[in-house]
Amino acid sequence: MARHASIGYPEEDGAFKRVPMPSFHTSACHKLYQYWPRLRINLSLDGFDPLQFQRQCDEADHSLEQNLAEAAEATVRSHLIEEYIQRLYHQTNLVPQTIIYLLQMTSTYSLQTALSQIPVRKSDEDMGYIKLSDLSLTLLLLLSVAFHYLTPDPSTDYGTTASSWKCFQLALTRLWTVHSQAEDFMLNSKLMVAVQLQIIYGRPFHAIGLLRQVGLSLSSTWTRSRLSLGPASFIAKMHFLMESDLLSEIDGQPTADTNQLFFDTSGNVNGSQTQFPLYTAAPEQQAPLFLDQTLWLRLCQNRILMTIYMINNSYSNPRFVGRPISDFTSELEFWYRSLPIELQFPRTIAAYGLLTHIIPSYKVCRTLVCFISTMLTIPNR
Amino acid sequence: MSYVGLLHFDYADNSKQVNLAIRYYFCHLLLNRPVCYFLLHKEIERCATPPKTLDDSLHDLSDLETWVFESSRNCLHNALLIVACLRSHPQLIGWYQAQYLIACYAIVLQMQLQQPTAFGDSEDADFTLDSIESLLEGVKVQTTQSRWTIDMLRNVRRNLNAASPLSTLRPTPGSALTTPNTLGS
């Protein structure tokens, strides 16, 4: 491992300052199994390379291309489509937040758009079944998410996981059609496919390829001239978030110049709050604020990578990382304290209830408190 | 969401909060990971590059400050928090969260063997490692990559445990499974 005498601390003082994803760093989680010597020498799988296996698996996995004909013939009861779409927008706690941002912050994936695209069938027509291949790209991508994350109704035997897979397969075959559509539809559709490839199907190298296309489109003056600031800012933020998440773990080059919509010339966030979001909006209007909070943490993570995990300081003596650790810890503390109380979370294993010896004491205390409360409520005799 | 004292926290109704919490824990884990590495590999690193100059005296480990242990423990505790948080929301584990779990596994495994006192009164390390394996196995869409990841974790864990003088296990010589680079052939 390379040794380096000092680690430069970034001069930026604001959390939302422009912090590009480094093109190469040593922080990826699976790289621990290569670079931490005791782990590496104890890895004895024949022909297994911890640095390459993710790419090898991604390239060798053709499962999404198989049984396409079967997917094209698959059907679904028409009432299930509406039921699952409705549930998707009301049970957002079951769905990863990155997908929820697309549902709540784009017109392409709004509930209204989704409901308007459900084909109308008479109940006796085709026995109430609709072929998945007759559904629009938007509906296929939404149903892919809904069937994957929402618990099936136990009263039906509908195989939701298999249907989710088929919906996504059909959506992939339809992806080329977005290129003749409006820019925001095209870019949102590609983001939706990329996020599912990453989160659900574990195909990071394919997801990063799609994100690169989104990044190149955002770099184009023609595309930007056809997007208003709101959608452009959202797409740029999502692109930045997803690309950073992917490039934290796989090697690749971040897309250049896509941050212009995201950051203004002084490095502040464009079209949004520049510091900590306020929580005065109605709950349904808070998605942009949560996205900014997520983005803050992502940017903080990027800065940590730039400060501690670049290749020239991949091995750091504690004496040299003490200052950055202290400074970043203070910033994270300040960010946490700015969160409204309903968003704060436990930050120690004691607060999370992971301490084994406290539990009995805690239960005793709770019992005592309950007992005292009960006694106090008994009227005096 | 509800607080029950300070000891139990229910994220059930708030995936936004889980998202923020996990990213926050991971920032702390990343920040403290180099110090954790230093603590776990100090002998190896010292043997690899014996001190020669005055500057190298900085690598002298005889006066490790308390904060080095504290920082390593922070790294471990944030790994435990990530695992606990995802354990209560397994449906939110995607590829990216799985990568977090891979890092947590490495840190918990090495700390268990070399700095067991850092766990203090927290949950049993073997329980944490088992739960990471079952969380990864429980992800709905299993790919070749996820299966290989689980194989990798188990292989390292078994071999590291077998290397312990107290263990009756023997290191695994290799795998009879198809390696990823031969999948396409």
N-terminal to C-terminal alpha carbon distance within chain A: 77
Separation of alpha carbons A242 and A102, rounded Å: 12
Q: B183 and A96: CB-CB below 8 Å?
A: no
Structure-token match 């400050």, residue found: B65
Q: B102 and A32: CB-CB below 8 Å?
A: yes
> Chain B: residue nearest A291 by CA?
B16
The answer to whether residue A354 neighbours chain B at the CB level (below 8 Å) is yes
Chain B residues with CB inside 8 Å of A42's CB? 155-156, 159-160, 163, 171
Instruction: Summarize pLDDT for B112-129 with one digit per residue, the tens.
Output: 998 888 888 888 899 999
pLDDT (0 to 100) of residue B5: 33
pLDDT (0 to 100) of residue A82: 92
What is the greatest pairwise CA distance in chain B?
Answer: 58
The burial of B168, by beta-carbon neighbours within 10 Å (0-12 exposed, 13-18 middle, 19 or more buried), is given as exposed
Separation of alpha carbons B95 and B85, rounded Å: 16
Q: B141 and A290: CB-CB below 8 Å?
A: no
Q: B45 and A350: CB-CB below 8 Å?
A: no
Q: Is the pLDDT score of A272 beyond 50?
A: no
Structure-token match 């400074």, residue found: A327
What's the whole-number mean pLDDT along residues A180-207?
95
Q: What is the rounded average pLDDT for all residues in chain B? A: 80
Instruction: Summarize pLDDT for A143-170 with one digit per residue, the tens.
Output: 999 999 997 766 665 668 888 999 999 9
Q: A301 and B30: CB-CB below 8 Å?
A: yes
Which is nearest to A239 in space by CA: A274, A211, A200, A268? A211
Q: B31 and A324: CB-CB below 8 Å?
A: yes
The pTM of the full predicted model, rounded to 2 decimals, is 0.84
Q: How many CB pairs under 8 A join A and B?
A: 271
Chain A residues with CB inside 8 Å of B177's CB? 45
Separation of alpha carbons B180 and B178, rounded Å: 6
Residues in chain B: 185
Q: Are A126 and A115 in contact (CB under 8 A)?
A: no
Separation of alpha carbons A292 and A105, rounded Å: 12
Chain A residues with CB inside 8 Å of B20's CB? 290, 293-294, 297, 339, 343, 345
Enumerate the H helices of chain A as residue ranges: 32-35, 37-41, 53-60, 68-73, 78-90, 97-105, 111-116, 137-149, 160-174, 183-199, 204-219, 221-225, 229-247, 287-308, 318-338, 358-377
The whole-angstrom distance between residue B179's C-alpha and the CA centroid of its chain comes to 24
Q: A48 and B152: CB-CB below 8 Å?
A: yes
B182: CB partners within 8 A, 6+ apart: A47
Q: Are A148 and A163 in contact (CB under 8 A)?
A: no
- C-alpha distance from residue A275 to each of A134, A268, A269, A278, A330 (Å): 45, 9, 8, 9, 16
What does the H/E/C string look like for A51-67?
CCHHHHHHHHCCHHHCC
Q: B152 and A366: CB-CB below 8 Å?
A: no
What is the greatest pairwise CA distance in chain A?
Answer: 83
Q: Are A335 and A296 in contact (CB under 8 A)?
A: yes
Record the tokens describing residue B81, joined without a space.
């928090």
Complex ipTM = 0.83
| Residue B63 pLDDT grade (very low, low, confident, very high; cuts 50, 70, 90) | low
pLDDT (0 to 100) of residue A1: 39
Separation of alpha carbons B173 and A117, rounded Å: 57
- C-alpha distance from residue A284 to each of A180, A289, A362, B11 (Å): 32, 11, 37, 19
pLDDT (0 to 100) of residue A275: 40
Chain A residues with CB inside 8 Å of B176's CB? 46
Q: Could you tell me which residue, A186 or A381, shows the higher pLDDT?
A: A186
Instruction: Concatenate the DSSP letters of all residues of B91-149 into one string.
Output: GG--HHHHHHHHHHHHHHHHHHHH-GGGGTTB--HHHHHHHHHHHHHT-SS--HHHHHH
